[in-house]
């Protein structure tokens, strides 16, 4: 497994140790079970309430773990549901439940053909994975492949929670490559493209974590991630511009990702972000374009033709030194093309590379 550290980037005597910007507020960790409480009988409600509010949950946990292996699907459902709620509502129960032997039987439920039982299994594993001490044991117990399958076969809630569980497991670096090999990445890309807002958010967060590994970047590009990323970045009402741009910033260190970005008409979208995005969005768009343009005169010419220089000049007046330096460096790239490409810069763009996402009045060419 090759973990990629963001390399130093230098140009015209300037060095940037990191092309990223603070992502702590762009991504929020997937939290525990968000599907609400479940209808239970009054005696069951009292039992759960007592267990969640007292320190004496051990006996109940042992009984529920035993019920997970019952011959009755209904008993399994009830036990898995109660364990997911115990793990959701009381953090100290997460380690207790794992130590009581719940992990392996819960993982087996993830492969159930009963969708509700599968959802309970997925979400209970998610809630247990919120405890750092459980992550390695959950992964080593065989959870990764069933969670990846649940991204395809589960209910909408199960898919979202499977993405969150894989995110949690990927926070252990050694799990990133196995998750990539499990087939999860194309399914996360599909969730990013076709899921609802919560699913898109969960998928982008999981992909951001997984794509710190080079082989997973390649898998994501091969799975067609560029199309949904560019579409989400072009939609300022999606609330996904920042998250998509951060994922893209990781990916463009891979040459095939830069090619895919251009083919999906991503350059006009990035220029529009520099024109009208928030300060943070502008800065991350510039960071992406710096990587795209670093070794390609062709891409520099394309960016210049999209009208990038005026908004970059405006950004270079930024109050933050980091944004100012990045903008100035990209301007230097665009104003000093190499290899005598001035003639090429005068040629019109091919039809398939012309603006697709920008509003007509913003399709400015230099």
Q: How many C-beta atoms lie closer than 10 Å to residue 349's C-beta?
A: 15
Retrieve residue 317's tokens.
């007046």
pLDDT of res. 337 = 60
pLDDT of res. 233 = 97
Q: Are 286 and 327 in contact (CB under 8 A)?
A: yes
The low-confidence residues of the chain, meaning pLDDT below 50, are 5-9, 11-18, 20, 24, 36-42, 46, 50, 53, 339-350, 352-366
Domain 225-366 has CATH 1.25.10.10: yes
Q: How many C-beta atoms lie closer than 10 Å to residue 256's C-beta?
A: 14
pLDDT of res. 318 = 74
Q: Where are the domains of the chain?
A: 225-366
Say how far apart CA 254 and CA 214 lie, in whole Å.
8
R_g (Cα) of the chain, nearest Å: 24
pLDDT of res. 55 = 58
pLDDT of res. 21 = 56
Q: pTM (2 decimals)?
A: 0.84
Single out the residue of 25, 9, 6, 13 nearest to residue 279, CA to CA.
25
pLDDT of res. 2 = 62
pLDDT of res. 162 = 98
The size of the chain, in residues, is 366
Say how far apart CA 58 and CA 203 lie, in whole Å.
35
pLDDT of res. 322 = 86
Say how far apart CA 334 and CA 206 lie, in whole Å.
34
7, 78, 119 from 41: Cα distances, Å:
58, 11, 20
Across 47-82, b (16+ Cβ under 10 Å) vs e yields bbeebeeeeebeebbeebbebbeeeeeeebbbbbbb
pLDDT of res. 335 = 87
For residue range 219-245, list pLDDT tens digits in order.
999 999 999 999 999 999 989 999 999
């Amino acid at each position: 497994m090759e973990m990629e550290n963001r390399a130093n980037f230098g140009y015209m005597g300037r060095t940037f140790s990191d092309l990223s910007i603070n992502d702590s507020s762009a991504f929020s960790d997937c939290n525990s079970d968000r599907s609400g409480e479940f209808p239970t009988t009054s005696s069951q409600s009292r039992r759960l309430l007592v267990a969640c509010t007292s320190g004496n949950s051990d006996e109940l946990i042992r009984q529920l773990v035993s019920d997970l292996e019952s011959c009755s699907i209904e008993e399994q459902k009830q036990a898995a549901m109660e364990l997911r709620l115990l793990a959701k509502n009381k953090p100290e129960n997460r380690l207790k439940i794992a130590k009581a032997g719940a992990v392996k039987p819960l993982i087996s439920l993830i492969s159930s053909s009963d969708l509700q039982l599968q959802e309970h299994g997925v979400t209970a594993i998610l809630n247990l994975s919120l405890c750092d001490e459980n992550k390695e044991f959950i992964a080593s117990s065989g959870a990764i492949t069933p969670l990846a399958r649940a991204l395809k076969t589960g209910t909408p809630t199960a898919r979202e929670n499977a993405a969150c569980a894989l995110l949690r497991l990927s926070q252990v670096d050694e799990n990133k490559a196995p998750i990539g090999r499990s087939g999860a990445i194309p399914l996360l890309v599909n969730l990013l493209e076709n899921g609802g807002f919560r699913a898109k958010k969960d998928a982008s967060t999981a992909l951001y974590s997984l794509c710190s590994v080079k082989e997973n970047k390649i898998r994501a590009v091969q799975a067609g991630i560029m199309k949904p990323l560019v579409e989400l970045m072009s939609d300022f009402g999606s609330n996904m511009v920042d998250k998509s741009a951060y994922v893209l910033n990781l990916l463009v260190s891979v040459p095939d990702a830069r090619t895919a970005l251009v083919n999906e008409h991503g350059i006009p979208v990035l220029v529009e972000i520099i024109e009208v995005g928030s300060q943070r969005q502008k800065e991350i768009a510039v960071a992406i374009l710096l990587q795209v343009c670093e070794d390609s005169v062709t891409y520099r010419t394309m960016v210049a033709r999209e009208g990038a220089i005026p908004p970059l000049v405006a950004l270079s007046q930024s109050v933050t030194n980091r944004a100012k330096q990045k903008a100035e460096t990209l301007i230097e790239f665009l104003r000093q093309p190499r290899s005598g490409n001035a003639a090429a810069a005068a040629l019109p763009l091919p039809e398939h590379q012309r603006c697709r996402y920008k509003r007509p009045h913003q399709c400015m060419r230099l």
